[in-house]
Structure 1
Amino acid sequence: MKKALLALIATMLISGCSNSNTSASNAPASDTTTEQNQPHQVTDQWVGRRTGVEGLFLEISKDDSAGPGHYLLHMRYGLDADQIDTFEGQASAESIRFNREGGQQLLRAGDGEATGMKWLLEKEDCLVVATGEGYCRD
């Protein structure tokens, strides 16, 4: 009798475990999937041209060949003749990461005050790489 009871309990435990795995695999996608899709939905709104001071500019376009959340950043980021280039960027939590001569950079939303430049103080829709380097929509 004890053996039959132990066998029944073991069977119930095994079937309970397999049912929970099945339930987990049939569960809807978690918030992680939503979070992964969300960054590029925010940064997709940044596509277009923005201007900085003294002829500096940033032009963001989608890099369709690389997939969602990938961008091409064409920018003049300094006054020297060689400080114009196109960089590949990737969306991350409300920013675009890209590599430039100084290493990894982070492009994030801000306002004119966040750029740290008095010429852009009145602007509201800006993207900032670092204090002293920002690009705003007119």
Structure 2
Amino acid sequence: MEKAALALSTLLLISGCAHNSHTETSDVNDSGTATEQSAPHHQMTDQWVGRWTGVEGLFLEISKDESAGPGHYLLHMRYGLDADQIGTFEGQATAEGIRFNRGDRSQMLRAGDGEATGMKWLMEKKDCLVVATGEGYCRD
């Protein structure tokens, strides 16, 4: 019985602490929080600016979209062999990578390696960006 009471009081203590930390966090200005959270994201993805090479002539060129501000990019890519599988897309930094819309789908460009691309021609590469298995771009 004493163990149950001890466990219950510990649970109440922990939940009270969690409640207090949430209350303190909620007093922070939302605009300041958004700036702090996005800063690390674009610092990581800023390192991706430049040309990345895929297989069979596929490529990805990432540039900063200065007019849209920090954490915004233009992704010029040939992502398939068909004539219409080339274009420039607006992207935005997130915790996972760069989110962009292509066609009617939201896509995520993530850091990975050659194995993550799922393509045998890139397996040995270490510095890659991957949209999905079968679509990746690497640097030498």
Q: Same fold (TM over 0.5)?
A: yes
CA distance in 1, matches of 2:110, 2:41: 11
Question: 1:84-120: per-residue Cα shift (whole Å, max 9, x none)?
Answer: 1000000000400000014000000000000000000
The equivalent of 1:87 in structure 2 is: 89
Cα offset, 1:32, TM superposition: 6.0
Partner secondary structure for residue 114 of structure 1: helix
For the aligned residue pairs, the C-alpha RMSD in angstroms reads 2.2
Distance 1:37 1:119 in 2: 34
Indicate conservation of the 8 Å contact 1:42/1:94, yes or no.
Answer: no
Rounded Cα–Cα distance in structure 2 between residues aligned with 1:51 and 1:71: 18
State how 1:16-31 maps to structure 2 within 5 Å.
none
Question: In 1, Cα distance between the equivalents of 2:32 and 2:89?
Answer: 32
Seq. identity, %? 78
2:46 matched residue in structure 1:
44
Q: How many residues align?
A: 114
SS in structure 2 at match of 1:46: coil
Q: Which amino acid aligns with 1:97?
A: R
Distance 2:109 2:137 in 1: 10
Would you say 1:66 and 2:35 are equivalent positions? no
- The residue that corresponds to 1:108 in the other structure is 110
User: Partner amino acid for 1:45?
Assistant: Q
CA 1:56–1:36 in 2, change beyond 3 Å: closer, same or farther?
same
- In 1, the alpha carbon distance for the partners of 2:84 and 2:32 equals 46
d(CA) in 2 for partners of 1:33, 1:69: 11
**Aligned equivalents of 2:103 and 2:38: distance in 1?**
28
TM-score by length of 2: 0.75
**What residue ranges of structure 2 are gaps of 5+ in the alignment?**
1-26
Q: Are the equivalent residues in 2 in contact too, given 1:73–1:86 (CA < 8 A)?
A: yes
CA separation in 2, counterparts of 1:90 and 1:31? 17
Q: Deviations over 1:10-29 (max 9, x none)?
A: xxxxxxxxxxxxxxx8xxx9
5+ residue gaps, structure 1, are: 1-24
Which has the larger Rg?
1
User: Helix, strand or coil for the counterpart of 1:108?
Assistant: strand
